[in-house]
A and B are shown apart, each in its own frame.
Chain A
């Protein structure tokens, strides 16, 4: 049973528009969430995080929103650029010691010029 779900395997967006990637989780003990970006044949790179005490965190073009009651978070990229084309993973942790994250299956974002 997947504890972290990304129900859209892929998403295509026009350059300059907003990309919205969604993530749902089932474990109410999760209290820290991250987004990673991954290019083919490379390791994931950290993008942005949010803890459960917040409902929004912003870093440049990237904003993550957390809705704890709905167990849902989303990543907004504005404006989208062709270099944003990658697979995006959502990850969640309930671990007070260490960082044992549970990863979602990923969403492949294609930003079209």
Chain B
């Protein structure tokens, strides 16, 4: 089945540790995105990538890093520099350059910093 897979679904981290969230898609989409959701807020864009080996910062990129070495994969690293990392993280993909298309989301990863 085509779709987006995020792992792990739940993750606990101690303060000061880096953690990497996985996002894989088999929809053959060029564009991939990472969003963060906090209670009472909309989805805020962390990073996005329109093509392999290229990515741009979103609205809240500080304390995060990404890579896009393969079309199918867009992992997100939450570094120790991220001051408030506890949140629900959502990965999405879409057809780059296709105005009028929607984003397809994974099921999310909930990160809790202890």
Contact = CB atoms under 8 A, between A and B. Distances in A.
A49 B42 contact: no
Q: State which size class the interface on A falls in.
A: 20 to 34
A95 B108 CA distance: 25
Contacts, number: 72
Interface in B68-114: 90, 92, 94-108, 110
A100 B107 contact: no
Interface string B43-58: 1110010100000001
A32 B100 contact: yes
A108 to B, nearest CB: 10
B41 A105 contact: yes
Given A32-B100, A34-B102, A98-B97, A103 B107 contact: no
Interface of B: 4, 6, 9, 31, 35, 40-45, 48, 50, 58, 90, 92, 94-108, 110
Interface of A: 2, 4, 6, 9, 32, 34, 36, 41-46, 49, 51, 89, 91, 93, 95-106
